[in-house]
Structure 1
Amino acid sequence: MIEVRKKAIMFFLLAIFTFGICLPTSSYSSAPKLKTYIVYDSPNRFADSFPLVNALIEHLGHFDLACQPMALQEWKPGALQDAELIVYAGLSDVTLPQGLLQEMAHARRVIWFEKNIEQMAAYLHWQDFKLEGVFNGWSFINYKRDVFIDDWINVVIAQPGQNAQVFATVKDIVASKPLAWQRDNVYYCGLLEVHPKYMITLSGLLHQFIPNQNHNHSHSHKALLRIEDVSPLVNSEAVGAVIATITKYNIPFSIGVIPVGVTKDDRYIFLHERPNLLKVLKEAQDNGASIIMHGYTHQNKYSPKTGEGYEFWNARDDKPMENDDAFTSERIEAGIEELVRCGLTPVAFEPPHYAMSEAGYKVLSRYFNIFSGQIQISDKSDRLSLSLPYVTTSTYLNGMMVIPENMGYYDGKTFLVDHMLQSSEQILEIQDGFACFFYHGYLPPDKLPSIIEGLQKQGYEFYDLRQLPILVHSPKIKIIGRDGQLRVEVDAKLQSSWGSNPVDDNMFKKIGSVHITLLLLILGIFVVIIIRLRANANKHYE
């Protein structure tokens, strides 16, 4: 009895130990996010509609920060007393309150961009500090290496004094001046620019300026391949050829699926009505592909062609759709249902042409927690978008995780393979850099090998989206995933309304044409054998 108890105790302890090592260590070891305020005097530069502060906040979403934006006019005494990090964007010449400067001086760390730094220097009594002014005409930014800079770009030049450490400079043919430096608790950069051309500088400095308290930044680099615009209107053999080419490399990939296609005569073609295409997609999913919901029809009344049109944006007038909330939610719910009906499990969402209003993003975040693509960061125009160099948690998208697209795509005209690989090579210089490109499913796959092999030679590892924590939630469907395991829960009434699975129907037709006859023959033989056995038994008892 004692031996049995010992074995039971040992088994219990072993189970506890096994369960313990299987738990994510980050649940226990990660430090809380830094309480961070982003203070700004203007959301954009004078006479420029690009929301530069919004773009900066999206970059900050890559780090372990609890971000709270605060317009300068919203500040009140004591508002920043609990700040662990303050980020100030100085896009206008303004006079800062002494109380604000005092709270900044007592913060653990301040990151300061561009203007008004002389006021902070005066408050901190930096006697040898000198503001030289705002200048353009520079040739290079030197941060780890020389990067060309457009000569019209304005840079704030401030000499920080002897007790500073300089991280980056700007140069012309005559002089070199400090661009980024640190003195006391202030980390300064005289240029705030989010254009991909300056991605290396901004991203590198943010990694240098922001404490990595969880030690979770990596020098490894991931890549995502996305097959694009796969709708019920595309040729299933073309899509199959693209998938077959990728499969040869034994890498994970994703497919942007449009659940419904709208024809020129305004007929709706559902994915479950295309068994051949569905078979190709199901096999790809079974072999490791992640399904991304790429809109519902990838069109609307203002741009009506599926695969080319906008869906969640009025492209004709360059503004949000009317009744935006209802329009967005109806299409997202219908799209999730159609995909799950077909046996496809969406793990992320990608708006057609990356165009969606801020209200649309809020609706979207109720259904998906992962977003694939670039971010439209203003309702003023769909051209105001942001391409990121790494994965972020988006403030603008209400907390969604953003998997960026930053390499473009191949079209044989403007966008070429060499240009795509140049982009990925630039991202390779960024810590945690994440590269992503897409390739249309209806194109010949002949250019794919050079892109895949090019990324592998650069040192990228292709990423499986299903490894992420996944939550897709609609009123009648719930999808939960982590570490490659997905669970789908469907409302019983909804599932019964679908009838049989279209793939199963198609398979039954194949079985009926080849194997049903054989099955009936075997059944007939079995019946004959039973009859003869019974006849023999009757003779035995006569």
Structure 2
Amino acid sequence: MPASSLRRRAVLPALAALLSAVLLLTTGLATPTASASAASASAASAGASARAKAFTGGLTGTGRSTLVLYDTTGQWGWLGELYAAQTANLTGHFGTFAALPVSAYTAGAMDAYTAVVYVGSTYDEPLPEAFLADVRDADRPVIWMNNNIWQLTASIPTFAADYGWMWSQFDFSTVEGVVYKGRDLSRDGRNASGIMDYASVDETKAEVLAAAVRENGTRIPWAVRSGELTYIGEIPFAYTTASDRYLVFSDLLFDALAPQTKERHRALLRLEDIGPNAEPAELMKIAVELKRRKIPYSFGVYTVYKEPGKTVALRQRPLVVAAIKYMLANGGTMIAHGYTHQYTDAPNPYNGTSGDDFEFYTAHVDEQNYVRYDGPVAEDSPAWAADRIEKMKAEFRAARLPVPQYFEFPHYAGSAVDYEAVRRAGFKARYERSLYFAGTLSGTAPQYDHMAGQFFPYTVTDVYGSKVIPENVGNIEPESFNNHPVVLPADLVKAARANLAVRDGVASFFYHPYLGTKWLLETVDGIRKLGYTFVPASAM
């Protein structure tokens, strides 16, 4: 197998780990006192004279809405905005959202929403008394993550008796799993940020929704619900993987926003990195087999192949075009996967070759062999991105192929400007994992050094205003590359099994045709045996 085939698979898994190292610095070690909490609340009241404007978005027409509140103070205040964006994206599956710094909360603001999520990312963030009062009297679901629960409990002298539980302190034991609805979900053991432990839990008054499992096998509650209040003892957006406890939060949102949702488990398959240099026989072999098994699928196509000194357009490869037409006529949905799937002849990060390199973002491989994201390309602008997209569309037409209705960024990476350009280009949806940047919710310039990668267990309408079809299970990796492990069909099936924890979730994976049919069919069969039904992208 050529080295380039390995490279083109290597960069995508990096998205899930973009926040890994930072969260360790956001949780304090000391147990706060009631007086400290009262002082924080007072400071919030004094310092919130300038009220921020809410960032709004999401899926319209459902009648459901979420207020996402987040922290902004301290050295790591920007993390609150990133976590809030990820939270808002998930709520965009259910309806509209409004994201607002918690410091800007005013009395009664939550009354206009179906549910509220507070992301407590900053230790001792000053919380407005108006917010604490409305949580105390809430008649709608409130989900509270991680920090500052002590400010709420200090404001309710009888909290333990009324709610049936009381926090004690963060537990920094190694935790590598969370049990939810009888399913074992993962939690990266490197995540040393701690999980809230409890002084007491009265299960006649409070329900333990999920339990964290320590390295020695003992358990502590991971999520607890009493009345309208659900408390999660950490922020589930760091060190996420396809089988992660992140899925618990993704599913708990159904309780808050769509509790009548019935169990349904759909699967998606996307063939990846099909360009003018693809082997028509490989494409046909897979397409014929998927047709025989009646498996709908998608396939990502870029339109011009480039490497230093060589350019080949799709229209110059009639056998590849014929294979694509066969796929379109027999269960395949074409996804636009870039114009050239590379940027220039210079390495970005590998060799300037289509399929290997980024197109809309810059990156390099560091001395430790990790792919590092550097930022937008030099000429990034609305006009540049729109021109790139229009050239891609023109090449589809020149090859006498329909212009796809769905878009996937090469290597899942673009700037905020590029995401907007794709939205304006009229695609029905993006089909991918995506990058999100601090500054988006606050309306300031994107902070490309403060970013998060996110995958979804269901379709969402994200903070860029686009529908996003999920890819959340990953892909086959026959060999380790750029510090990513080998991934085989059993690993993808295991991840799909974990995603059954989401009541209306998806197991979505992608596959490179040059790997042949064996691993593809093993994965498809394994996922089907779990009870998933493969559907086309248009069904999402």
Q: Give the TM bin, normalised by the shorter chain.
A: 0.7 to 0.9
1:388–1:211 distance in 2 versus 1, CA, 3 Å: closer
Task: Tell me the equivalent position of 1:207.
Answer: 254
Larger deviation: 154-163 or 181-190? 154-163
- The Cα of 1:299 is off from its aligned counterpart by 0.5
1:113 equivalent among 129, 145, 170: 145
Give yes or no for the alignment of 1:352 onto 2:410.
yes
Verify the 8 A CA contact 1:355 1:382 in the aligned structure 2: no
1:455–1:175 distance in 2 versus 1, CA, 3 Å: closer
Task: Tell me the equivalent position of 1:3.
Answer: none
Kindly report which structure 2 residues correspond to 1:300-311, keeping only aligned pairs within 5 A, or say none.
Answer: 300-301=343-344, 302=346, 303=348, 304-311=352-359
Verify the 8 A CA contact 1:388 1:406 in the aligned structure 2: no
1:351–1:381 distance in 2 versus 1, CA, 3 Å: farther
SS of structure 1 residue aligned to 2:236: coil
Please list the CA deviations of residues 483-538 of structure 1 after superposition, one character each: whole Å capped at 9, or x if unmatched.
xxxxxxxxxxxxxxxxxxxxxxxxxxxxxxxxxxxxxxxxxxxxxxxxxxxxxxxx
Please list the CA deviations of residues 105-151 of structure 1 after superposition, one character each: whole Å capped at 9, or x if unmatched.
44422111111112223434434353311111154533323545427
Give yes or no for the alignment of 1:320 onto 2:376.
yes
Verify the 8 A CA contact 1:408 1:420 in the aligned structure 2: yes
Kindly report which structure 2 residues correspond to 1:379-390, keeping only aligned pairs within 5 A, or say none.
Answer: 380=448, 384-390=452-458
What amino acid is aligned across from residue 457 of structure 2 in structure 1?
A: P
What amino acid is aligned across from residue 355 of structure 1 in structure 2?
A: A
Larger deviation: 77-86 or 239-248? 77-86
1:31–1:339 distance in 2 versus 1, CA, 3 Å: closer
- The Cα of 1:426 is off from its aligned counterpart by 1.5
Q: Distance in 2 between matches of 1:130 and 1:466?
A: 46
Task: Tell me the equivalent position of 1:155.
Answer: 195
- The Cα of 1:362 is off from its aligned counterpart by 1.3
Please list the CA deviations of residues 247-303 of structure 1 after superposition, one character each: whole Å capped at 9, or x if unmatched.
221211111011111243143x22122211111111110112100000111010243
Q: Distance in 2 between matches of 1:104 and 1:127?
A: 12
- The Cα of 1:44 is off from its aligned counterpart by 10
SS of structure 1 residue aligned to 2:375: coil
Q: Distance in 1 between matches of 2:363 and 2:304?
A: 20
Verify the 8 A CA contact 2:92 2:461 in the aligned structure 1: yes
1:127–1:392 distance in 2 versus 1, CA, 3 Å: closer
- The Cα of 1:328 is off from its aligned counterpart by 1.3
Task: Tell me the equivalent position of 2:433.
Answer: 374
Give yes or no for the alignment of 1:182 onto 2:225.
yes
SS of structure 1 residue aligned to 2:507: strand
Task: Tell me the equivalent position of 1:99.
Answer: 130
SS of structure 2 residue aligned to 1:380: strand
1:262 equivalent among 300, 306, 315: 306
1:243 equivalent among 287, 290, 297: 287
Task: Tell me the equivalent position of 2:532.
Answer: 460
- The Cα of 1:175 is off from its aligned counterpart by 5.5
Task: Tell me the equivalent position of 2:264.
Answer: 220
Q: Distance in 1 between matches of 2:511 and 2:117?
A: 38
Verify the 8 A CA contact 1:221 1:428 in the aligned structure 2: yes
Structure holding more helix per residue: 1
- The Cα of 1:168 is off from its aligned counterpart by 2.6
The normalised TM-score by structure 1 is 0.73
Task: Tell me the equivalent position of 2:321.
Answer: 278
- The Cα of 1:89 is off from its aligned counterpart by 0.7
Verify the 8 A CA contact 1:394 1:402 in the aligned structure 2: no
- RMSD of aligned alpha carbons: 2.9
- The Cα of 1:236 is off from its aligned counterpart by 1.9
SS of structure 2 residue aligned to 1:306: coil
Larger deviation: 70-79 or 189-198? 70-79
Q: Distance in 1 between matches of 2:450 and 2:149?
A: 33
Give yes or no for the alignment of 1:363 onto 2:411.
no
1:198 equivalent among 245, 260, 280: 245
Q: Distance in 2 between matches of 1:142 and 1:285?
A: 42
- The Cα of 1:412 is off from its aligned counterpart by 5.1
Give yes or no for the alignment of 1:135 onto 2:171.
yes
Q: Distance in 2 between matches of 1:289 and 1:147?
A: 32
1:77–1:234 distance in 2 versus 1, CA, 3 Å: same
Task: Tell me the equivalent position of 2:113.
Answer: 83
1:144 equivalent among 165, 181, 190: 181
Verify the 8 A CA contact 2:72 2:78 in the aligned structure 1: no
Give yes or no for the alignment of 1:393 onto 2:461.
yes
SS of structure 1 residue aligned to 2:361: coil
What amino acid is aligned across from residue 193 of structure 1 in structure 2?
A: P
What amino acid is aligned across from residue 522 of structure 2 in structure 1?
A: S
Task: Tell me the equivalent position of 1:126.
Answer: 158
* Unaligned runs of at least 5 residues, structure 2: 1-59, 365-372, 438-446, 481-485
Q: Distance in 2 between matches of 1:31 and 1:230?
A: 36
Verify the 8 A CA contact 2:68 2:87 in the aligned structure 1: no
The structure with more radius of gyration: 1
- The Cα of 1:441 is off from its aligned counterpart by 2.7
What amino acid is aligned across from residue 148 of structure 2 in structure 1?
A: N
2:102 equivalent among 72, 87, 107: 72
Task: Tell me the equivalent position of 2:211.
Answer: 169
Verify the 8 A CA contact 2:493 2:527 in the aligned structure 1: yes
Q: Distance in 2 between matches of 1:137 and 1:44?
A: 26
1:406–1:76 distance in 2 versus 1, CA, 3 Å: same
Verify the 8 A CA contact 1:298 1:308 in the aligned structure 2: yes
What amino acid is aligned across from residue 445 of structure 1 in structure 2?
A: T
Aligned residue-pair number: 433
What amino acid is aligned across from residue 102 of structure 2 in structure 1?
A: L
Q: Distance in 1 between matches of 2:173 and 2:114?
A: 37
Verify the 8 A CA contact 1:290 1:464 in the aligned structure 2: yes
What amino acid is aligned across from residue 144 of structure 2 in structure 1?
A: W
Verify the 8 A CA contact 1:407 1:435 in the aligned structure 2: no
- The Cα of 1:76 is off from its aligned counterpart by 4.2
Q: Distance in 2 between matches of 1:44 and 1:205?
A: 29
Aligned residues with identical type, % of pairs: 24
Task: Tell me the equivalent position of 1:232.
Answer: 276
1:55–1:313 distance in 2 versus 1, CA, 3 Å: same
1:403–1:178 distance in 2 versus 1, CA, 3 Å: closer
* Unaligned runs of at least 5 residues, structure 1: 1-29, 469-542
Larger deviation: 310-319 or 37-46? 37-46
1:183–1:31 distance in 2 versus 1, CA, 3 Å: farther
- The Cα of 1:180 is off from its aligned counterpart by 1.7
Q: Distance in 2 between matches of 1:76 and 1:394?
A: 25
What amino acid is aligned across from residue 411 of structure 2 in structure 1?
A: H
